[in-house]
Amino acid sequence: MMKSRVNVISERLVEHVARSAAGIGVSLEKISYIAGSKRAQIIYDIVKGLGRRIVLVHGNGALYCGLCKKGPFTKRGLYLHLVRRHRYDIKQLIIAEISD
């Protein structure tokens, strides 16, 4: 993919990675709209994988940020924390995954 296209796609996927990390749910249909139908399943798998990597779930079900170890958060609180505080970090993770 062209570098500028990867940059645009990664910016639009940040919210979806944060939703996945918080356990809110990600729609393959919305991913398809962003990335195109040919790449949708691959991008969906990347989003879900990154979501699992950036969240820590403690034994009692408490959610913690895997990037800065803050928490505990509710699902919505973790989503907002990730989008507001770690947007750039998540974008860089997405770019690294897509570029490989």
Binned at pLDDT 50, 70 and 90, residue 100 comes out as: confident
Residue range 7-21: mean pLDDT, rounded: 95
Q: Which residues contact 36 (CB under 8 A, 6 or more apart)?
A: none
Binned at pLDDT 50, 70 and 90, residue 1 comes out as: low
| pTM of the predicted protein model | 0.93
Nearest to 54 by CA among 29, 85, 11, 32: 85
pLDDT tens readout for residues 49-88:
999 999 999 988 899 999 999 999 999 999 999 999 999 9
Where do the domains of the chain lie?
3-99
Please answer whether residues 65 and 86 qualify as being in contact, where contact means their C-beta atoms are separated by less than 8 angstroms: yes
